[in-house]
Structure 1
Amino acid sequence: MAQNLILVAIVLFLCLMAEKLSGKVGMPALILFMGVGMLFGSDGILRIAFDDYGLAQNICLIALCFIMFYGGFNMKWSAARPVAVKAICLSTIGVVVTAGLTAVFCLVVLKFDFVDAFLMGTVLSSTDAASVFSVLRTKKLNLKDGTASILEMESGSNDPVAYLLTMIGIMMKTGGSLSSLPYMIFAQVVFGLAIGAAAASLGILLLKKGTMQAAGMDMILVIALVMSAFGLSEAIGGNAFLTVYLMGILLGNSNIRGKETLIPFFDGMTGLAQIVLFFLLGLLSFPHKLPQIFFVSLAIAIVLTVIIRPVTVFLIMKPFKCSSRQCLMISWAGLRGAASIVFAIMVIAASSSSSDTLFHTVFMVALLSVAIQGTLLPFVAEKLKMVDDSCDVRMTFNDYKEASEITMMQMEIPEGHNWENRLVKDVSMPTGSLAVMIKRHGETLIPGGDTRILAGDTIVLSVPAYESGGQEHLEEQEITPKHRWCNKTIAELMLPHGTLIVLVRRDNENIIPNGQTEILEGDHVVIYR
């Protein structure tokens, strides 16, 4: 027991060191996690013999479950909404086209039999969410024309389609009756969506209305909801990946309690899931077998990257009038990774007649993809002039926060205000605040201590950013044209007892509201309950 604990700790420390090293050498950390697994594996230094594909499948599915959930939970829908149709087309039609073209190449050129060619196409048909998220975030790589949001949403939502195709392939491999195929597709889609929406609704209800007695219970509640939704969907034939991804989107973009603690918690949990997932995939591999399938894997990787992915992307994106540069950028960023390898493990675990050739071929393709495409992604983006330096890619995630620890607040000075006709240095400013400008009759004044405040002035104060102590329940709502508060004054809203609008963020200004403050389209309203 003690030795196992020490061994696990060493693995985690090595993976953390690998993550640090990745920033210096410019290589994605995920591939180094695989390297650590290979180092510990049957051909490595410690020679840990591990070839239990059933156990590996179960562990990897749990890890993927939380990676998929967090991909949806941390996706900012307001940033993804303008490109949602493009991303969904890539994650559905694109996956089917990629699977078909890859299968044809394996069948015609590489002389695979039909079922093996189909399976190779299906398991390699999706881009990998963990790899794409990791590269974009660690490199802080924002891309023009909403390309980062397209890639995030595509990679987060295409696993359910690839999973469905893989299940069809497993049915063919194991001799299952294809007469049940229509029902299986129906169940995967309908049950997957229904359970995801129901679990998210329950989570929103509990996190809005319920109160936990101990700190940290919200995290346990969400973990329980994710695991139960995934398990229930899997049990009744739904698409479990679709379930948790949809659940994540709905929960993450709702005004639930404790989101500021849930996001960093699941960020860390997803990081651990990625370490476990990629380490286990490396541990499961047998490096001495890789040379045997290297040239086949290299051929598949080259054709997939240079021909199949670009053809698929141009076919889908050009009708949306996307530029050729954007299509090339999306094509290069179609990384294959852990999801493809996990689907290959599922095939081997489900079919006793399957050899581990499929696993090692897909493993090598993913290794080449993450190593070459992932490493060169910033370089390609720069050469294609697709890098957007005007904003941070993290703004497309729900955990983004501005670096500044101060905020701006404006105060109107009506006649009779106790600051009227007084010098700035003589008034009692809020603790830690500073008068940075005075707006007077269309002019902006930079005040000093001897500046006199007049009736009708608008004073802009710099104040320390608020940090919640954990007991308050603050929510923020974006006012859309159809929001019931839009174009109404606060006095007209008839807010419930115990509810107060404490701040209205409008453009670059923070307004302390009163009953006559009108809520406008585009405002961000902060509510205290």
Structure 2
Amino acid sequence: MTDVNTLALLFGALLLTAMVATSLTKRLGMPLLLVFLGVGMLAGDSGPGGLIFNDFDLSFTVGNLALAVILFDGGLRTKIATFRVALRPALLLATLGVALTAGITGGFAAWILQLPLLYGFLIGSIVGSTDAAAVFALLRSSGIRLNERVGATLEIESGMNDPMAIFLVIMLIAMVQSGAVTVGMMVMEFIRQFGIGLLAGVAGGWLIWRLTRRLLLPESLHPLLLLGSALALFGATAKLGGSGFLAVYCAGMLIGNRPMQARDHNLHVLDGMAWLAQASMFLLLGLLSTPSRLLPELPLLLPIALFLMLVARPLSVMLCLPWLRFRWREMVFISWVGLRGAVPIVLAVFPLLAGLDHALLMFDAALAVVVCSLLIQGSTLGWLARKLKVDIPGYPDPLSQHGLHDADTQDWQLLQYRVAEHADVVDVASTELPIRHGVVEVLGVWRQGMLLHREAGLRFRPGDLVLLAAADADMAELGDHFAASHSEATLPATRFFGEFYLHGDAELGEVSLFCGCSLPGPEDQTLAEWIRHALHRPAVVGDQIALGRVWLTVHAIEQGQITSVGLKLPAGSASETGSQR
């Protein structure tokens, strides 16, 4: 029992230390995952903690289970509606993009480390995929809201590219060990990994969803039902020879996009479990690393990390995305958000378990790449998004929300907002809340210990706690109305979209007459149709296009159709009709 108690004490102390140290992440701009990794290193045999930990089998097991939890949680939060603009680029980056990145990086690694080419390609494959844990965590904590095309592409890519990396690592290890791998064997392994993973994910997700609908359980047990089912699906898929990671991600997407009991409670609890999984994984990986061995190797390993970030990843993105009409700004940002996290380190354990030569060097190379990626790329996401103008105005979250979900209606939320000192709604009647689209119902106002009911004479005051019901689509506008001002990290809506809003069904002739510019298309064509035609691709919120001297910005999209367009004069000189920014 002493060993168990000691382990519990050590793990609890390390986790608590890492969580306390997270206060530094906001001040220094350091990613939280790097704090966990650093605490593990300091506690390890080369740090002041002096703990000797070299159990690669345990780390491999914990890493796999933790990644399964993280991917399942990420899948639950991925909207299938985003596939409209992100599925093709994400799939391309998750397959061809990973192979290109692995090949380019592998060739450079073999040259600089003076290793056989197969070993170099193995290093490239280990670090070739982006990490879901890092991408999900940093995109949500960076304080920015990306346009749908960029954000969804990054998240779906990171959730789906692990099978390709695992496939490449397994094939290259087999080639190093025996050299008897044929093209047919590679094709069959590729089909098995992706095919079984996809089929198991869809079938398993549907079964899990049906199970959650039929079992009458207390709300507190629903997250455990989901988590247990997801881990069982992960293990079963891996036993069948498919990608368990792809299976749990696809299952999460299928479940998350269907009506689900206790949805908000499930998401909150699973988010905490995903954070615990990340913390555990990075703490163990930090303990497993040996900085005293790594430091002398840095002059050779750092160039590999920099080459991956500055050359290999950008080249793979530039070869995959231009054909899908991505703007150069978007491609640069997607190139930079090729974050590496726990996946490369977990994959680096494969050569160690296989007993390959130079296995420790490969592990150290993966660790160096991860640290550089989190430190350099992870700490600059918000700054680069604003510089490249791929962010769109965010909105303050409500104090609390609780979903009201019905299979026959759209998703509705019970929301609580605090009226800020200089909010737009101050002195506005509770029956006249200014919402451009949708329906919002004020249920009551809590003021100075009293619950006031909605009526014509009741006006909002600073400090009021407002309870209301609204659809998901109205939350952005509600957040703007109840907030005092945006933080420096948030792009103001009026500066981005403009002061005026036009309906997507407005006729182009009337809009051109109002703007005082020449007619760029048929007079009776709607504004939404003209924008979609001018972009030559599905539109997303934030897309901008010039009409004479006026900038039009897509403000709202419902069911794939542009419903609202912002209008403002450009800050600079006049622009040509139909030019894009």
- 1:435 alignment partner, SS class: coil
Alignment of 1:42-121 (within 5 A): 42-121=45-124
Q: Which residue of 2 aligns with 1:433?
A: 453
1:186 corresponds to 2:206? no
Alignment of 1:303-382 (within 5 A): 303-351=307-355, 353-382=357-386
Rg bigger for which structure?
A: 1
Displacement of 1:176: 6.9
Of 1-10 and 270-279, the range deviating more from structure 2: 1-10
AA paired with 1:152? E
1:221 corresponds to 2:232? no
Of 31-40 and 73-82, the range deviating more from structure 2: 73-82
Query: 8 Å contact 1:95–1:126 — kept in the other structure?
Result: yes
AA paired with 1:96? A
Alpha-carbon distance between aligned partners in 2 of 1:448 and 1:229, rounded to the nearest angstrom: 53
Q: Which residue of 2 aligns with 1:292?
A: 296
- Residues 84-111 of structure 1 deviation map (CA, whole Å, 9 limit, x = unaligned): 2122211121111111111222234543
Alignment of 1:481-496 (within 5 A): none
AA paired with 1:194? L
- 2:18 alignment partner, SS class: helix
1:240 corresponds to 2:240? no
Alpha-carbon distance between aligned partners in 1 of 2:359 and 2:158, rounded to the nearest angstrom: 28
Relative distance call for 1:77 and 1:286 in structure 2 (3 A) is: same
Q: Which residue of 2 aligns with 1:162?
A: 165
- Residues 480-505 of structure 1 deviation map (CA, whole Å, 9 limit, x = unaligned): xxxxxxxxxxxxxxxxxxxxxxxxxx
Relative distance call for 1:104 and 1:403 in structure 2 (3 A) is: farther
1:12 corresponds to 2:15? yes
AA paired with 1:14? T
Alpha-carbon distance between aligned partners in 1 of 2:452 and 2:149, rounded to the nearest angstrom: 38
Displacement of 1:32: 1.0
Q: Which residue of 2 aligns with 1:497?
A: none
- Aligned-pair Cα RMSD in Å: 3.1
Alignment of 1:410-425 (within 5 A): none
- Residues 309-328 of structure 1 deviation map (CA, whole Å, 9 limit, x = unaligned): 11111111111221111111
AA paired with 1:205? R
Query: 8 Å contact 1:196–1:246 — kept in the other structure?
Result: yes
Alpha-carbon distance between aligned partners in 1 of 2:286 and 2:47, rounded to the nearest angstrom: 10
Alpha-carbon distance between aligned partners in 1 of 2:62 and 2:227, rounded to the nearest angstrom: 16
| Number of residues of Structure 1 aligned to a counterpart in Structure 2 | 429
Relative distance call for 1:316 and 1:433 in structure 2 (3 A) is: farther
- Residues 57-109 of structure 1 deviation map (CA, whole Å, 9 limit, x = unaligned): 11111111111111111112224532221222111211111111112222345
AA paired with 1:318? P
Quick one: which of 133, 149, 152 aligns to 1:149? 152
Of 344-353 and 291-300, the range deviating more from structure 2: 344-353
1:26 corresponds to 2:29? yes
Percent identity of the aligned residues?
31
1:201 corresponds to 2:206? yes
Alpha-carbon distance between aligned partners in 1 of 2:232 and 2:148, rounded to the nearest angstrom: 38
Relative distance call for 1:20 and 1:403 in structure 2 (3 A) is: farther
- 2:455 alignment partner, SS class: strand
In structure 1, the gaps of 5 or more residues are: 411-430, 437-446, 450-461, 468-474, 478-520, 524-529
Relative distance call for 1:405 and 1:170 in structure 2 (3 A) is: same
Displacement of 1:233: 1.1
Quick one: which of 123, 131, 136 aligns to 1:133? 136
Alpha-carbon distance between aligned partners in 2 of 1:176 and 1:276, rounded to the nearest angstrom: 37
Query: 8 Å contact 1:148–1:393 — kept in the other structure?
Result: no
Query: 8 Å contact 1:141–1:393 — kept in the other structure?
Result: no
Query: 8 Å contact 1:141–1:378 — kept in the other structure?
Result: yes
The TM-score normalised by the length of structure 1 is 0.75
Relative distance call for 1:216 and 1:303 in structure 2 (3 A) is: same
Query: 8 Å contact 1:432–1:464 — kept in the other structure?
Result: no
AA paired with 2:210? L
Alpha-carbon distance between aligned partners in 2 of 1:448 and 1:114, rounded to the nearest angstrom: 74
Displacement of 1:204: 1.1
Alpha-carbon distance between aligned partners in 1 of 2:80 and 2:36, rounded to the nearest angstrom: 31
